[in-house]
Amino acid sequence: MKFTKLARIAATAVATCGLAVALTACGGSGSSGYQVAVPSDATNEARALLLLQDQGLITLSEGAGLTATKNDITDNPYNIEIVETEAASVPRMLQDVDLAVINGNYALGAGLDPSTALA
């Protein structure tokens, strides 16, 4: 077995999805009726919906997992409107929605600090 000496050639950021609150006041009436932007591609939308479920905001159908879509939402006690948009556009949606689930790489690219994510 040959061993090769490894050298660092570049730095990279690794960040997961996070839940960001819009900088404007949350809309909706009282504690319901919020708009939440999520990535529209299959993999990232499912991850976003699972994050919302983990935070107790929605319930997904049993076994939806990494194939979940907004059609799998079985309980939506806060009457959340899921706004699907292209993943790279989600950070720009913050001014138009109440919450957004943003991929870490797009959050970093938009100058957002993933350590300030709500979840």
Residues of the chain falling short of pLDDT 70: 1, 10-32, 119
Domain spans of the chain? 18-116
Q: Which CATH superfamily is domain 18-116 in?
A: Periplasmic binding protein-like II (3.40.190.10)
* pTM for this predicted structure: 0.75
Burial (CB < 10 A; 0-12, 13-18, 19+), residue 38, is buried
Please provide the size of the chain in residues: 119
> 70-79, long-range: CB within 8 Å, 24+ apart, which pairs?
70/38, 70/45, 73/49, 77/32, 78/31, 78/32, 78/33, 78/34, 79/28, 79/32, 79/33, 79/34
pLDDT tens, residue by residue, 37-61: 999 998 899 999 998 998 889 999 9
Given this model, what pLDDT does residue 27 score? 46
